[in-house]
Structure 1
C-alpha cells in the first residue's frame, strides 16, 4: 500500500497540523521532501514531511501569533497585556534573536528600555 499523501486526511497529519501552522511550517508530500525536512512516519511508512519556516521572518511570525492570541495588535494593548505579550514572546524564544528587543519595541510602540523592564519583571 503506498504512503498516504498529506493532502488527504491522515491521523498523523491532522495531529501535527496545528503545531506546524503555529511555527509557520508546511506539510509536504513524501515525494517532495527535501533533506532538511522532518519526515512524518506512521507505522514505518513516510507519509509526508514537515518543512520548517526559514529563520528570516521568525520574529514577525512570533509577534503575529502573540497578537492573534491576545486579539489585538501590540501597540493597541493596554500595559498589562503588553507585559503579557512580552512574557509570551520570551517563552517562545523571541529574545534570542539579534535586535529582537529593538524590533519588538518598535512593533509595540514603546522604548527598548520599556521592553527590558517588562523582561526584568518576567524574570523576577
Structure 2
C-alpha cells in the first residue's frame, strides 16, 4: 500500500468518529483527488446523499485545479439543489512531500438554523437574508460538470450559439481554472452541452492552455 493510500485508509475511521460525535446533521467525506470522477472513498452521514464512488463538487474541482498551491476552505456555506443549507469545511490532505492528493470534508446541514435566523431577522426588521451559492453534490460527476457549465451561461445571459470565439475561450478558461478538465470525458461532455463538435472543444482547450494563466 502506498503512503497516500495508507493516509486515506486511516482517515475513514476519523470520518466515522466525527460524524458520530456531531450527530445526524453531520456528514464527513474523504476524497481521493487522484480519481475526481469517483473521488469519494469514505463517507459517514448523509447530508449530501452521496455514497462511496461519488464525485467531488464544484468546490473540490476548484481545489484540484490549484494543485499543491490550494489552501483549506473553512466555514463556507452553500445550498444544495434540493434546498439544504450546508455549512462546510474542506481540509486538504497532503503526503510527506507536501503534495495535495485528497481532502477531508465536514458538511453540516444548518437549514433549520438558517430558517430561524431569517425569521428572527424579519421579526427584528433587519436584513439577514443573503444569497447563498448553490452547489451540486452527487454521485454523478456529469451532473456537477453540467451545473458548472450552466452557471457560466446564466452569467452571460445568452444562448451558447450566440457566443463569440473570445467568449467561448473565456468559458473554456473558466472551466480549466475550476478543474473540470481533470475529469475523464469532460471535454466531450462540455462540447455536447454547448452544442459544438468535440474537435472544436479540443481546439479551444488547446488554445487556452497554450495561452497559459491569465
Normalization by structure 2: what TM-score? Answer: 0.37
Q: Report if aligned partners of 1:74, 1:107 keep a CA contact under 8 Å in 2.
A: no
Residue range with higher mean Cα deviation, 56-65 or 96-105: 96-105
Q: Which of 159, 180, 191 is 1:94 aligned to?
A: 180
Q: For residue 16 of structure 1, report the CA deviation from its aligned partner.
A: 3.4
Residues 153 and 160, structure 2, Cα contact 8 Å, conserved in 1: yes
CA RMSD of aligned residues (A): 3.3
- Structure 1 residues 75 and 96, CA gap change in structure 2 (3 angstroms): farther
Residue ranges of structure 2 left out of the alignment (5+ in a row): 1-74, 88-104, 115-134
Which structure exhibits the higher relative contact order, with contacts defined as CA atoms closer than 8 Å and separated by 6 or more residues?
2
Distance of aligned partners of 1:91 and 1:37 in 2 relative to their CA distance in 1, 3 Å threshold: same
Residue ranges of structure 1 left out of the alignment (5+ in a row): 1-14, 30-35, 41-46
Residues 105 and 111, structure 1, Cα contact 8 Å, conserved in 2: yes
In 1, Cα distance between equivalents of 2:165 and 2:149: 16
Higher helix share: 1
Establish whether residue 109 from structure 1 lines up as the match of residue 195 from structure 2: yes
Instruction: Specify which structure has the higher proportion of strand.
Output: 2
Deviation at 1:76, TM superposition (A): 2.7
Aligned pairs for 1:1-124 within 5 A = 16-17=76-77, 20-21=78-79, 26-28=84-86, 37-39=106-108, 53-56=137-140, 57-124=143-210
Shift of 1:55: 4.4
Matched-pair contact (CA < 8 Å) for 1:74–1:108: yes
TM-score (norm 1): 0.59
